A and B are shown apart, each in its own frame.
Chain A
Amino acid sequence: MAGGRFVSSSPLPGFGLTFGFTTFFLSAVILLPLAAMVIRALGIPFSDLIDMLLDERAVASYRLSFGAAAVAAAINAVFGFIVAWSLVRYDFPGRRLLDTMIDLPFALPTAVSGIALATVFSPTGWLGQKLALAGIQVAYTWLGVVVALVLIGLPFVVRSVQPALIEVRKELEDAAESLGAGGFHVFRRIILPTVLPALATGFTLAFARGIGEYGSVVFISGNLPFKTEITPLLIVIKLEQYDYDGAAALGFFMLAMSFVMLFAINLVQGWGQRRLGIGAGR
C-alpha cells in the first residue's frame, strides 16, 4: 500500500469510476436505508427501547427464532456431514444429480418451499399423517419452524464441509493404512478434528440464515403469538399495526445480531485457518 495515498499506483485505468460507482450504489441502496432504521431506533428513549426489546412477546419470538435456528443447524451439522461424506467419499449412480440437488433450497423461492412443507407436514399431508399416528405434530408447532430451517440451512453445511473432506482424504488414507486402524478410530482421531472447523463454519452460516428466515417459515409455523411466532414475523406484524417504533427496535436488534453473526463467522473461519494452516470451508 502506498504510504500516504489512498490508492496505490497501478497501470490500470478506471479506479475512480468503478470505486466511485461502487461506493455510491452501496451507500444509496444498502447503507442509507440501514441508517434510516438505526437512527429511528436510537431516537426512541432508552428505557422505552429496552422495554420494547424485553417485551414478553418479543422475548418469546427470540426464543423460537434462535432456538429453532440452533436446533436446525445442529441437525444439519449431523446430516449435512453424512451427505457431504457420501458425496465426497463414495461414487454411486446419481451422485452428480444428488450433488446438484443440494443447492435446491438456494434456488427454490422461500414461499414455494414454505407452502410445500406446510402441505407435506400438515396433519392431512402425507408425511404429517404418518407422524400424527406416532403422536408427533410438525406443522403449526415449533417443530415446523425447525423443519423449514433445516431445509434452508442444509446447503450451507454441505458446501462448507465438502472441500474440507476432499482435503482430508489423502491424509486419511495414509493414516488408515499405516495404522491398520478400524474405521471409527480413524474417523474420531483424524477426520473429525480436520473437518471440525468447516463443520463449525457451516453451522454458523446455517444458524445465521435461520434467525432471519421468513418465507419458508411463516406458512408452516402457524404464527401463534408467544408460541410459534418468529421475530421477523413479529416485525412485519408491528409494521402492519403502524407501530413503527416497535418495528424499528426489533429491526435494530436483528441487525445487531447480523453483525454479531458476521463477526462469529469470521472468528470461526480464522480459528479454522489457524488450526489447519489452510482455508476451511469457503
Chain B
Amino acid sequence: MAAVESWSPEGRRMTPGAKLARTVMLFVSCAFLGLLLLAPLGAVLVQALAKGFGAWFEALHDPDTISSIKLTLLTAAIVVPANTIFGICAAWAIARFEFRGKSLLVTLIDLPFAVSPVIAGLVLVFLFGVHGWFGEWLLDHDISIIFAVPGIVIATIFISFPYVARELIPLMQQQGSDEEVAALSLGAGPWTTFLRITLPKIKWGLLYGVILCNSRVMGEFGAVSVVSGHVRGMTNTMPLQVEILYNEYNFVAAFAVASLLAMLAILTLVAKTLVEWRSGPGGH
C-alpha cells in the first residue's frame, strides 16, 4: 500500500499502529457512509429504472405528476425570492446596526430550524383553518388558504425562512461596512451603494444561501403535507406526489419522481461545492 502511504498528510512515515488505525478508520467511514448514504441513493435510481427508461419517462408524463412539478416550481418561484429579500434585509439590519434585542431577533429568525415541520404546518391551521382565527373571514370572502396553494406557500416560507439570513449575517458582520461608509461619504446614494458595493461583496454568500433555501423549498414534505389536503393535480407538490404514488404501490412512478428530487439534491451539492470553491478558503 505504498501509494496510499504517500497520501499521508504529514508526509512522514507512519508507525504500524497508526497505519492500522488509519485503515480501520477509513474502512468504517466508507462502510458507514456507503450503507447510509449510497445505498438509499442507489435504491432510488434502481427502482426508478426498474421497468426501463421508457417506463420512467412515461411515469413522469402523468398529468398529475406534471402538475406536481409545476406546483413545486411555482412555490419555489414565490418562496425563494421572498426569503432572499427577507434575508438581505435581516442581515443588513443585524450586521450593520447595534440595537436592543438583537440577539433575541437572531434567535427568533433561527426558530424554524428548531421546530418540527409538522408544527410549521399545524400552526397555519389555527390561523387560516375553518376554526382558525381568520377562518370565518376567509370563508365569507371565499378565500381558501388551508388545503390550497397559498397554505403550501406560507408553510414553505416558514420552514425555509432562516437559510439566506443565517448565511449573510456572519458574512456581513465579518466584512464590516468601511467601504459602504466611504461610498456614502463620497456622495453615492443608498441604492447605488447597496448595488455597487454591498451586493458584489456578498454575492457568493447570497448564492450559497439561495441554493440551500431552494433545496429545502422544493423538497419540503412535513409542513406542506399538513396544509395541502393532497388534492391530486391541484395541491400536490413533488414530495407529496412521491408519497401518494408510493402508498398506492406504484413504485416505479414514485421512484421516478423521487429520482428527479434526488438529481436536484445532487445538483444542489455540486452547486454548493462550486460556490465554496469560488468564495475561497475561509468563505465557508
Residues of A with Cβ closer than 8 Å to B? 1-2, 6-8, 10-15, 17-19, 21-23, 25-26, 29-34, 36-37, 39-40, 79, 82-83, 85-87, 89-93, 96, 98, 100-117, 119-120, 125-127, 150-151, 154, 173, 182-183, 208, 211-215, 219, 232-233, 235-236, 239, 244, 247-248, 251, 254-255, 258-259, 261-262
**Which among B93, B181, B254 has the highest number of chain A CB atoms within 10 Å?**
B93
Contact (Cβ within 8 A) A109 B108 = no
B15 / chain A contacts, CB cutoff of 8 Å: 183
A30 to B110, CA, bound (A): 10
Q: Which residue of B lies closest to A22 (CB)?
A: B90
Contact (Cβ within 8 A) B261 A109 = yes
A208 to B28, CA, bound (A): 26
B30 / chain A contacts, CB cutoff of 8 Å: 98
Known: A82-B28, A107-B269, A258-B114. A112 touches B127 (CB 8 A): no
**26 residue pairs from A and B, CB less than 8 Å apart:** A2-B98, A6-B100, A8-B98, A12-B180, A15-B96, A25-B86, A33-B123, A36-B123, A37-B126, A82-B25, A87-B29, A90-B9, A90-B25, A100-B269, A101-B269, A103-B269, A109-B219, A110-B221, A111-B258, A112-B219, A116-B44, A212-B115, A244-B129, A251-B119, A251-B123, A255-B115
Q: Which residue of A lies closest to B94 (CB)?
A: A22
Q: Which residues of chain B from 82 to 99 have any CB-CB distance to chain A below 8 Å in the complex?
A: 85-86, 88-90, 92-94, 96-99
Contact (Cβ within 8 A) B32 A82 = yes
A87 to B127, CA, bound (A): 46
Q: Which residue of B lies closest to A115 (CB)?
A: B246
Residues of B with Cβ closer than 8 Å to A? 4, 7-10, 15, 17-18, 21-22, 25-26, 28-30, 32-33, 35-41, 43-44, 47, 85-86, 88-90, 92-94, 96-100, 105, 107-112, 114-119, 122-127, 129, 131-133, 154, 157-158, 161, 177, 180-181, 184-185, 190, 194, 212, 215, 218-222, 225-226, 238-240, 242-243, 246, 251, 254-255, 258, 261-262, 264-266, 268-270, 272-273
Known: A30-B112, A40-B126. A254 touches B119 (CB 8 A): yes
Chain A min CB distance to B145 (Å):
11
A182 to B127, CA, bound (A): 62
Known: A108-B262, A212-B117. A151 touches B269 (CB 8 A): no
Contact (Cβ within 8 A) A18 B92 = yes
Known: A82-B32, A112-B265, A211-B116. A239 touches B218 (CB 8 A): no
B243 / chain A contacts, CB cutoff of 8 Å: 111, 115, 219
Contact (Cβ within 8 A) B86 A108 = no
Chain A min CB distance to B76 (Å):
13
B261 / chain A contacts, CB cutoff of 8 Å: 108-109, 111-112
A116 / chain B contacts, CB cutoff of 8 Å: 40-41, 43-44, 258
Contact (Cβ within 8 A) A22 B86 = yes
Partner of A112, one of B44, B268, B273: B44
A119 / chain B contacts, CB cutoff of 8 Å: 40, 43, 47, 251
Q: Which residue of A lies closest to B165 (CB)?
A: A22
Contact (Cβ within 8 A) B26 A236 = no
Across the A-B interface, the 6 shortest Cβ-Cβ residue pairs: A109-B219, A212-B116, A116-B40, A215-B221, A214-B222, A33-B123
Contact (Cβ within 8 A) A127 B157 = no
A112 to B254, CA, bound (A): 9
Known: A7-B97, A113-B40. A255 touches B239 (CB 8 A): no
Chain A min CB distance to B27 (Å):
9
Partner of B28, one of A36, A79, A236: A79
Partner of A33, one of B92, B118, B126, B190: B126
